[in-house]
Amino acid sequence: MEPTAANIRKSIEKNWNEYLSKYGNLFSSSSVSGSSPPSVFVGSFGYPKVGVGPMVPPIHGDTSLLDLPERWLGKTLEEIVNFRLNLVRGTQNVSVSNPQGRYIENLQELAMSSNTPDSEITFYKNTTPTTFIDGESAPFGPIGEIKSAKFSGMSASKPVEKAYYDRDLKAEDAVLSLYNSGIEISKIQKCFSIGMFGKDRKLVPTRWSITATDDIISKSLVDEILDYSQIDSYLVFTHEHLGNLFSVLLFPHRWIYEMEEAWHTDRGEIGFGADAEDANGLGHYPSIAGAYFAAKLGIAEYLSKKKRQAGVLVLREIQPEYAVPVGVWQVREAIRAAMSKIPTLVDTLDQGLDLACKNMSISKNEWLAKGTTLKMLKQKTITDFF
């Protein structure tokens, strides 16, 4: 029997509470003064009126590492959790439609900042630790309702500033322009969430902005690679971090993409999820949520750089060691890391599948039983791949 969402959630919250007591900075105060990474957060609870505000650690100086997932690869789970627990989240309830006013303008200036601005926040009462985890965004520390917030020493990123003031630029075009300018995806996501792009500007909950940004960029890259010739070999890439095992199999085929996930619970059960697309894209929201687009982005970047298209299978085994979900950034960065390695070349699809599953506790037959692309490919003859 597959684990229910409620059981998985209960297990996650149990682990999170254990991390809070073992590693957490149990900050509790009616004010906080420090340097924001810079960071803003838009909640989803109560939508369309949501909690919006900055995240500030009680630390001064260069705090950028606390909210820059692109630099977390190679860090331990404990280190990343501690980064996040240092961030105190302030909130004010704001309608997502037509965001304006000095408070929102301050947060937009903070989001576009290229440095770590000095920040002073006072709360109506002492902050309290939170156990909120959504699996898409990274967790964070104490939370409190903002009474006042001041920021100083902000220095705007010029590409972000340009996109912000261009009211005729569509939100998708702003995302792609900043990505092509070399702006970190995590920064683009924050600016997207705080309503800085497009003609009809709205706040977007952080968890949604993360997925939307990955989707916009990966879709654009796939549109590009559809014009390239197909690869002519079978390539296997692997990477492991934070208790996650990743295998990527590229094979000769026009663009098709499938991602499968398997996870373990503390009850010894295994759950599966899978989604797939062809050149027409995905016609529904993926069952494995933002991880699907995060992995797709990393692979599309590789194929775009190589000027090739391929069939793609991604396998992700989430082991019990991944006790606290820290966000889908780790999927994107793990796939980027995998694709930066020298791949192993094999002669057949079966050999590729064997190698992809070699270091996983989930067997090839189990993956085959849960996916759709693999079943279809196994029924084809070799001439269908060219």
Segment 7-12 shows an average pLDDT of 50
Asked whether the predicted pLDDT for residue 359 surpasses 80, the reply is yes
What distances in angstroms separate CA 245 from CA 135, 156, 241, one per listed residue? Answer: 17, 38, 7
Provide the 3-class DSSP secondary structure of residue 49.
Answer: strand
Distance CA 314, CA 292 (A): 9
For the purposes of burial, counting CB atoms within 10 Å of the CB of 49, is it exposed (0-12), middle (13-18) or buried (19 or more)? middle
Residue with tokens 């998985």: 8
In the chain, DSSP assigns E strands to 31-35, 40-42, 49-56, 88-95, 118-123, 143-152, 234-241, 244-251, 256-264, 270-277, 311-318, 344-346
Between residues 153 and 85, the one the model is more confident about? 153
pLDDT for 10: 53
pLDDT band at 386 (very low <50, low <70, confident <90, very high): very low
Residue at 244: amino acid letter:
N
**How many residues does this entry show for the chain?**
386
pLDDT for 84: 85
pLDDT digits (tens, 9 = 90+) for 55-102: 999 999 999 999 999 999 999 988 898 888 889 999 999 999 978 899
Mean pLDDT over each residue of the chain, to the nearest integer: 89
Nearest residue to 222 via CA among 311, 313, 339, 287: 311
pLDDT digits (tens, 9 = 90+) for 32-41: 999 999 999 9
Q: 76: which DSSP letter?
A: -
Segment 347-363 shows an average pLDDT of 95
pLDDT digits (tens, 9 = 90+) for 100-119: 899 999 999 999 999 999 99
Asked whether the predicted pLDDT for residue 11 surpasses 60, the reply is no
Q: With pLDDT > 70 as the criterion, what percentage of the chain qualifies? A: 88
Nearest residue to 326 via CA among 143, 85, 36: 85
pLDDT band at 20 (very low <50, low <70, confident <90, very high): low
Structure tokens at 355: 């190698």
Asked whether the predicted pLDDT for residue 304 surpasses 50, the reply is yes
Domain boundaries, the chain: 7-156, 234-385
Structure tokens at 303: 């194929």
pLDDT for 19: 55
pLDDT band at 21 (very low <50, low <70, confident <90, very high): low
| Cβ neighbours of residue 5 closer than 8 Å, sequence gap 6 or more | none
pLDDT digits (tens, 9 = 90+) for 223-266: 999 999 999 999 999 999 999 999 999 999 999 999 999 998 77
pLDDT band at 126 (very low <50, low <70, confident <90, very high): confident
Is the backbone peptide bond immediately before 48 cis, with ω within 30 degrees of 0? yes
Distance CA 255, CA 197 (A): 30
Segment 322-341 shows an average pLDDT of 94
For the purposes of burial, counting CB atoms within 10 Å of the CB of 15, is it exposed (0-12), middle (13-18) or buried (19 or more)? middle
pLDDT for 171: 97
Count the Cβ atoms, other than its own, within 10 Å of residue 275: 22
pLDDT for 13: 55
Asked whether the predicted pLDDT for residue 323 surpasses 90, the reply is no
Provide the 3-class DSSP secondary structure of residue 198.
Answer: coil
Q: 349: which DSSP letter?
A: H
Distance CA 177, CA 175 (A): 6
Nearest residue to 248 via CA among 318, 295, 216: 295
Asked whether the predicted pLDDT for residue 15 surpasses 90, the reply is no
pTM over 0.85: yes
Asked whether the predicted pLDDT for residue 132 surpasses 60, the reply is no
pLDDT band at 371 (very low <50, low <70, confident <90, very high): confident
Count the Cβ atoms, other than its own, within 10 Å of residue 96: 18
Between residues 324 and 279, the one the model is more confident about? 279
pLDDT for 379: 64
pLDDT digits (tens, 9 = 90+) for 257-302: 999 999 987 777 889 999 999 999 998 999 999 999 999 999 999 9
pLDDT for 27: 66
Query: Helix, strand, coil proportions of the chain in percent (round to 5)?
Result: 40, 25, 40
Domain 234-385 of CATH type 3.30.420: no
